[in-house]
């Protein structure tokens, strides 16, 4: 897929400075137009209604797992995955320009972000650690209230958005914190290299049902990259499976495998073929 640097609209969930916005700018370039929405449902609706060309959808975090709500939205909308990006989630200590580490009396952020930076934060002596509802929201508060004795833990994008300085970068304990984002659009993409393909399907809850479905791939030596089951809401004995495989859906072996899979499933949705995403360090 071509990465555009002009006015392509991309919807994301969160406040300006959220990691989802950072993902959009990493993927589409700094000059793309990002549209902030409160809920994931709205970003899917934007693309369906043609208000935005793309939605930037977080689907999985290395520490916190999958985002099932977004799999459900993919299942319900007639949209396609056209790209993928793995964003290193890096936490930074942000403060008003001129604020020194030794002047800090308090640090604010979302409890999850505070937890991820526990080691660094406990090294600060005499500083109060305060939970706040949102990472970007904490940065905004420091800037709006002109707090020269406080700092926020948030993204570098939040620093740029609210005119804060980065006092310390990369203060998280575990540097293996990544969020995988999917780029969702109305039209299918045609990956040129490192293709992967995603499908969602349902099977009856009978012994061996999933085993038979996976035979469609195993018998053709197609590599499975991810699998996840989820009870189908409203249908107590049926299960949804989210599956990523290696390969382009237009290749002969994938065409055959997906046709075979459809014979074995009670419902099925093709989500698209796209290029395997790179890891991006913001």
Residues 8 and 32: beta-carbon distance below 8 Å: yes
Q: Of 3-11, 87-95, 229-237, 269-277, which part binds a copy of itself (CB under 8 A)?
A: 229-237
Of the residues 99, 135, 179, 197, only one is catalytic, namely: 179
Cβ-Cβ contacts under 8 Å for 77 (sequence gap 6 or more): 44, 47, 48
Rounded Cα–Cα distance for residues 122 and 255 (Å):
55
Kindly state whether residue 218 participates in binding a copy of itself, applying the rule CB under 8 A. yes
The residues, ordered by sequence, that sit 6+ positions from 57 with a Cβ below 8 Å of its Cβ are 40, 43, 44, 70, 73, 74, 181, 182, 183, 184
Considering the rule CB under 8 A, would residue 41 count as an interface residue with a copy of itself?
Answer: no
Which stretch in 96-104, 144-152, 161-169, 214-222 sits in contact with a copy of itself by CB under 8 A?
214-222
User: Residues 98, 146, 208, 236: which binds a copy of itself (CB under 8 A)?
Assistant: 208
211 in contact with a copy of itself (CB under 8 A): yes
Q: How far apart are CA 264 and CA 60, in angstroms?
A: 27
Q: In the bound complex, what is the minimum distance in angstroms from residue 248's beta carbon to a copy of itself?
A: 16
Instruction: Judge whether 99 counts as a catalytic residue.
Output: no
Rounded distance, CA 279 to CA 282, Å?
10
Measured from the Cβ of residue 9, the count of other Cβ atoms closer than 10 Å reads 18
Any catalytic annotation for residue 179?
yes
Catalytic residue among 27, 181, 201, 217: 181
- Residue 233 touches a copy of itself, criterion: CB under 8 A: yes
What's the closest the beta carbon of residue 38 comes to a copy of itself, in angstroms? 9
Q: Give yes or no for a contact between 43 and 52, defined as CB atoms under 8 angstroms apart.
A: yes
Count Cβ atoms below 10 Å from residue 44 Cβ, excluding itself.
23
> Do 265 and 202 meet the contact criterion of CB atoms below 8 Å apart?
yes
Q: Which stretch binds a copy of itself (CB under 8 A): 28-36, 151-159, 209-217, 262-270?
A: 209-217
According to CB under 8 A, which residues from 152 to 181 bind a copy of itself? 176
Stretch near a copy of itself under the rule CB under 8 A, chosen from 49-57, 110-118, 153-161, 265-273: 110-118
User: How many CB atoms sit inside 10 A of residue 280's CB?
Assistant: 16
Residues near a copy of itself (CB under 8 A):
39, 62-69, 110-111, 115, 131-134, 137, 176, 205-208, 210-212, 214-215, 217-218, 221-224, 226-231, 233
Active-site residue numbers? 179, 181
């Amino acid at each position: 897929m071509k990465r555009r640097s002009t006015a392509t609209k991309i919807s994301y969930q969160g406040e300006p400075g959220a990691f989802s916005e950072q993902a959009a700018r990493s993927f589409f370039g700094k000059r793309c137009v990002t549209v902030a929405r409160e809920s994931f449902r709205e970003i899917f609706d934007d693309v369906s209604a043609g208000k935005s060309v793309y939605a930037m959808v977080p689907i999985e975090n290395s520490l916190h797992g999958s985002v099932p709500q977004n799999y459900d939205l993919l299942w319900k909308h007639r949209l396609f995955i056209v790209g993928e990006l793995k964003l290193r989630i890096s936490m930074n200590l942000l403060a008003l320009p001129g604020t020194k580490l030794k002047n800090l009396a308090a640090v604010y952020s979302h409890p999850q972000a505070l937890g991820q930076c526990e080691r660094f934060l406990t090294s600060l002596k005499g500083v109060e650690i305060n939970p706040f509802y949102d990472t970007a929201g904490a940065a905004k508060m420091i800037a709006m209230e002109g707090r020269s004795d406080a700092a926020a833990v948030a993204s570098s994008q939040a620093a740029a958005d609210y005119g804060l300085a980065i006092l310390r970068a990369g203060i998280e304990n575990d540097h293996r914190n990544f969020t995988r984002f999917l780029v969702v659009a109305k039209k299918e993409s045609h990956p040129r290299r490192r293709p992967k393909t995603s499908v969602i399907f349902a099977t009856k809850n009978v012994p061996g049902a999933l085993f038979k479905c996976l035979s469609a791939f195993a018998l053709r030596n197609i590599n499975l990259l991810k699998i996840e089951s989820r009870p189908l809401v409203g249908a107590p004995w049926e299960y949804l499976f989210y599956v990523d495989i290696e390969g382009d859906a237009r290749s002969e072996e994938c065409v055959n495998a997906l046709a075979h899979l459809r014979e074995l499933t009670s419902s099925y949705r093709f989500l698209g073929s796209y290029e395997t995403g790179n890891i991006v360090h913001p």
